[in-house]
Structure 1
Amino acid sequence: MDFVAAFSDPEAAGRYAEGPRRFVPGYEALHRMTGILLAEHAPPDAKVLVLGAGGGLELQALAEAHPGWSFVGVDPAREMLRQAERTLGPLMDRVTLVEGYIEDAPLGPFDAATCLLTLHFLDAAAREDTVRAIHRRLRPGAPFVAAHGSFPQRDGIRSRWLARYEAFAVASGADPEQATRARAAVEANLPTLDPHQDEAILRGGGFREVEPFFAAFTWRAWVGRA
């Protein structure tokens, strides 16, 4: 499945804000926690790299909470970046958007970085390459927050967690058929890893003091330092 093409559809980009809130438990809280964790080590005037800037929801939350920060948001889907511009409105004066992948991002150095709901689209090798490229763009000691789909992959247990993913979406107001299709897409197309594998990739990519701080059904998040 070509996920970049899927996110390049204007109608899908316009509806994006509905999805994470229905499919990711604690979505807004994840943004608030991310800002808190970055602020532990980022200066008041931090320059922050946001990989997978999507429709701008993460950028909006961080920019509103930290008025001294500026941002570079990177995403391969042009329509999602257009949606980010609409979402951010006047906050765009502190945001630069880049169409592309991590290789297209400025070298920085940045004071902090995030990659939310993105790395699960990459296989293990590409995931570690991306993490290393983020690390190269950070100042020593800079914080990095990663959050994405990550849950036990053993036979039988994997299907149980995917059923919970689907059930949560329905309980949160998603159309049941849409939730079933989303579950099938995740099961068939996403190279999801076990949480211990994801944490090892962060460490292998150069980050230290890697700590898990969020777990909600099929989602996990970690913070580390360059």
Structure 2
Amino acid sequence: MTRHDPSPFANPDAVASYAVETPRKVPGLADLHRMVTLLLAEKAMGEAHMLVVGAGGGLEIKAMAEAQPDWRFTGVDPSPAMLDLARQAVSPFADRIDFVMGTVDQASAGPFDGATCLLVLHFLDRSARLQTLREIRRRLKPGATLVVAHHSPPDGDTERWMARSAAFGDRSALDWAKAKATGRMMVDRLPLLLPADEEELLREAGFIDVALFYAAFSFRGWIANTSPS
């Protein structure tokens, strides 16, 4: 699968700072992880095997593993450096986690009880997103849940929304000129889709019951299910 930005985490500095910077940049990241865990747990009570697409860094696996001691995880990511970071983050739970270097089409067939894809899809162009979502759906049990979250500005004024997110993530003195420049750069680099297009893409990939559950500046999160039969 191709990314619009083929190596967003090839920069060693970006990898080294990921665990610190990501909670600063994504509003309520810890609460987002808790919401994701709760949404998956509605249908995956007790023992369950979760597919985590874009597992590099390990933040969401760590949060879910702490909250759900009976869950197992398969984490997939194309970045070796980010997977190394994930292994460090989840070392207390290593016996419940398998990592695969690559994209979701290289993961096992499952079937999995649920899946997450957080802060990933905004790096992929539309065709790669659709392929990724279809590959996730193929690996899920009937009636299983997928949770996704990433940049998806609420309207066509994408530069303004990305600037607002950039300003939120910059914990130094507020500098709107800097935030606007960062917003423009993000719009140039990321193949952003509006929420209606995101929801249509999930349905096109074969998911049903698509619903928004998280919204914060340019970030959106959705829950969707596979068909029960």
1:192 aligned partner, one-letter code = L
Structure 2 SS opposite 1:35: helix
In the alignment, what sits opposite 1:199? 199
Q: TM-score when scaled to structure 1?
A: 0.91
Are residues 1:92 and 2:88 paired?
Answer: no
Q: 1:43 aligns with which of 37, 41, 45?
A: 45
The whole-number CA distance in structure 2 between the counterparts of 1:34 and 1:136 is 20
In the alignment, what sits opposite 2:190? 190
The whole-number CA distance in structure 2 between the counterparts of 1:18 and 1:175 is 19
Q: How does 1:33-182 map to 2 (within 5 A)?
A: 33-152=35-154, 154=156, 157-170=157-170, 172-173=171-172, 182=182
Contact 1:38 1:112 in 2 (8 A): yes
Structure 2 SS opposite 1:140: strand
Structure 2 SS opposite 1:191: coil
More displaced 10-residue stretch of structure 1: 158-167 or 36-45: 158-167
**Shift of residue 151 of structure 1?**
1.0
The whole-number CA distance in structure 1 between the counterparts of 2:97 and 2:131 is 25
**Shift of residue 152 of structure 1?**
3.8
The whole-number CA distance in structure 2 between the counterparts of 1:206 and 1:188 is 29
Structure 1 SS opposite 2:140: coil
Q: TM-score when scaled to structure 2?
A: 0.90
Give the share of equivalent positions with the same residue, in percent.
46
Q: Evaluate the alpha carbon distance shift between residue 158 and residue 199 of structure 1 in structure 2; reply closer, same or farther with a 3 A threshold.
A: same
In the alignment, what sits opposite 1:210? 210
Tell me the matched-pair count.
223
**Shift of residue 185 of structure 1?**
3.4
The whole-number CA distance in structure 2 between the counterparts of 1:94 and 1:178 is 43
Give CA-to-partner distance per residue, 1:50-108, whole Å, 9 cap, x none: 00002000110010000000000000000000000111112111110110001111110
The whole-number CA distance in structure 1 between the counterparts of 2:173 and 2:16 is 16
The whole-number CA distance in structure 2 between the counterparts of 1:223 and 1:127 is 16
The whole-number CA distance in structure 1 between the counterparts of 2:219 and 2:43 is 24
The whole-number CA distance in structure 2 between the counterparts of 1:112 and 1:82 is 24
Structure 2 SS opposite 1:212: strand
Q: CA RMSD, aligned part only?
A: 2.1
The whole-number CA distance in structure 2 between the counterparts of 1:195 and 1:148 is 11
The whole-number CA distance in structure 2 between the counterparts of 1:19 and 1:180 is 19
Unaligned runs of 5+ in 1: none
Contact 1:169 1:179 in 2 (8 A): no
More displaced 10-residue stretch of structure 1: 33-42 or 123-132: 123-132
Q: Evaluate the alpha carbon distance shift between residue 174 and residue 11 of structure 1 in structure 2; reply closer, same or farther with a 3 A threshold.
A: farther
Unaligned runs of 5+ in 2: none
The whole-number CA distance in structure 2 between the counterparts of 1:51 and 1:158 is 26
Contact 1:53 1:75 in 2 (8 A): yes
Structure 1 SS opposite 2:193: coil
